[in-house]
Amino acid sequence: MKTIEDFNFNNKKALIRVDFNVPLDGDFNVTDTTRIEAAKPTIVKVLEEGGSAILMSHLGRPKGKKSDELSLKHIVAKVSEIIGVQVKFVDQSIGKDAEQAAKDLQPGEVLLLENLRFHSEEEAGEESFAEALSKLGDVYVNDAFGTAHRAHASTTIVAKYFGQNKCFGYLLAKEIEAIAKVMESGEKPVTAILGGSKVSSKITIIENILDKVDHLIIGGGMTYTFIKAQGGKIGDSICEDDKQELALRILKDAQAKGVKVHLPVDVLAANDFNNDADTQIVDVKEIPDGWQGLDAGPKTLENFKEVILESKTILWNGPIGVFEMPSFAKGTIAIGNYIDQATKDGAFSLVGGGDSVAAVKQFGFEDKVSYVSTGGGAMLESLEGKTLPGIAAILE
């Protein structure tokens, strides 16, 4: 695996695909700088070795049309502040202006190109657009894990124009290593904690990880599809009725492979889907009509705690309850605390995928787990066993 460590950037121009698809408020201020900070080590390495960095990213979904609202000019000040260098900006991604700006770039300088997705050719993965981008740098560095599952011009196609002069940035290399630690080389016992509302969105992940894990903890809304499939009463809880047979098959497959599946035994049920609803702790298989399970119960959390604290490798994908409502966040917070403890005791813990990352940030667990993945869809596709095009392009 060629990483940025394998190159010296003295007098070289590094064309770096970053993921600066960051949230902006109404005044175009960046409201979450995580992705910019994550790319900083790669950019700094290039600059410190006497190279220059040409950064390319998308922002939002402009669908091939220019839009002032989605211009990357709005983030120049914030990127400059975080990297510690005044970033130059060119309002083109390709063409004469972009080529001239790249040519004029001196060692130690940084140039940010305009939003790649102002060109429909970016998402279409067009060769001509990728070739035009390739003219801007000497070495191609992909450091955008969040888009590595897309075969776009800047994430995949452009790599072919650089021969051996292409590599992974620090962030992308760390993502690949973190997933490999769980899926390939993880110290046993390996535990996967899967939450969220739908079994259907996790099927391929479950099928792929059953050969790799010792324990599978299932929580969140998808619990109730499993419980109903086993004949339990789930009241008004969320359920995918058409996935009950699948749930039973997953349990059977797990048993055949020697994987212990841990489902909730009790839940915090509410008589309405709102934070101020009446609540009661009930057996997961005896939820009364008119009530719905919205968080894990105390006995369940004790069971999960025991499994997590004995684990040496932990993957967490998806919340355990409706954590957006304080009344139903206790289960998710408890899981975070158990993983924190296991990590302190020497376990490797990886958190990834949309809502679980949001929960980890919200409740302050970011620095208490081994690694928090920056790529939602890319992370999930990796767990499903797919080879991501952006990664394959560097390995070729």
Whether the pLDDT of residue 396 is over 90: the answer is no
What confidence score (pLDDT) does residue 133 get?
Answer: 98
Mean pLDDT along residues 207-225: 93
260 is in an annotated binding site: no
Query: Residue 88 pairs with which residues in a beta bridge?
Result: 111
Burial tier of 326 (Cβ tally within 10 Å: 0-12, 13-18, 19+):
exposed
Helices 76-83, 34-48: crossing angle, 10 deg rounding: 60
The predicted structure's pLDDT at residue 379: 80
Closest among 322, 391, 350 to 205, alpha carbons compared = 350
The pLDDT of 20-33, averaged and rounded, is 94
141-145, 174-178, 188-192, 374-378: the lowest-pLDDT one: 374-378
* Average pLDDT score over residue span 239-253: 95
20 is in an annotated binding site: yes
Residue 35 counted as an annotated binding residue? yes
Quick check: 275 pLDDT over 90?
yes
Structure confidence at residue 380 as a pLDDT band (50, 70, 90): confident
Q: Name the phi and psi angles at 303, rounded to 5.
A: -60, -45
Closest by Cα among 360, 351, 359, 358 to 379: 351
Domain definitions of the chain by residue range: 4-173, 186-383
Q: What global pTM score does this model have?
A: 0.86
Residue 341 above 80 pLDDT? yes
Position 334 confidence tier, pLDDT thresholds 50, 70, 90:
very high
What's the mean per-residue pLDDT of the chain?
94
Residue range 177-182: mean pLDDT, rounded: 89
Distances (CA, A) of 239 to 156, 267, 292: 38, 15, 10
Residue 385 assigned ligand-binding role = no
Residue 311 has pLDDT above 70, yes or no: yes
Per-residue pLDDT, 203? 85
Residue 59 annotated in ligand binding: yes
3-state SS of 31-82 is: CCCHHHHHHHHHHHHHHHCCCEEEEECCCCCCCCCCCHHHCHHHHHHHHHHH
Q: What's the rounded mean pLDDT across residues 166-194? A: 92
Q: Are 294 and 328 in contact (CB under 8 A)?
A: yes
Tell me whether residue 25 is annotated as binding. Answer: no
**d(Cα 10, Cα 106) in Å, to the nearest integer?**
11
Range 148-155 average pLDDT: 93
* 324 is annotated as contributing to ligand binding: yes
CB 312 within 8 A of CB 350: no
Q: Which residues contact 235 (CB under 8 A, 6 or more apart)?
A: 269, 287, 288, 289, 290, 291, 292, 293
Residue range 72-86, pLDDT digits in tens: 999 999 999 999 999
Side chain identity, residue 104: D
- Asked if pLDDT for residue 294 goes beyond 80, the answer is yes
Q: Quick one: fold of 4-173?
A: Rossmann fold (3.40.50)
Sign of the dihedral through C-alpha 324, 326, 328, 329: positive
> Per the annotation, does 246 bind a ligand?
no
Residues acting as catalytic residues:
35, 198, 354, 377
Q: What is the pLDDT of residue 146?
A: 83
**Residue 354 confidence class, pLDDT cut points 50, 70, 90:** low
The rounded percent of the chain whose pLDDT value lies above 90 is: 82
Q: What is the mean pLDDT of residues 279-304?
A: 97
Q: Is-same-fold flag (4-173; 186-383)?
A: yes
Candidates 3.30.420.40, 3.30.465.10, 3.30.460.10, 3.40.50.1260; correct CATH number of 186-383? 3.40.50.1260
Q: Work out the average pLDDT over 367-386.
A: 83
Q: What is the 3-state secondary structure (H, E, C) of 129-160?
A: HHHHHHCCCCEEEECCHHHCCCCCCCCCHHHH
**17 labelled ligand-binding:** no
- Does the annotation list 356 as a binding residue? yes
Mean pLDDT of 106-110: 97
Terminal CA-CA length for the chain: 10
The predicted model gives 149-176 an average pLDDT of: 95
Token pair belonging to 149: 């599952």
pLDDT for residue 127: 97
Residue 375 has pLDDT above 80, yes or no: no
CA 244-240-237 angle, 5° bins: 110
* Residue 373 labelled as part of a binding site: no
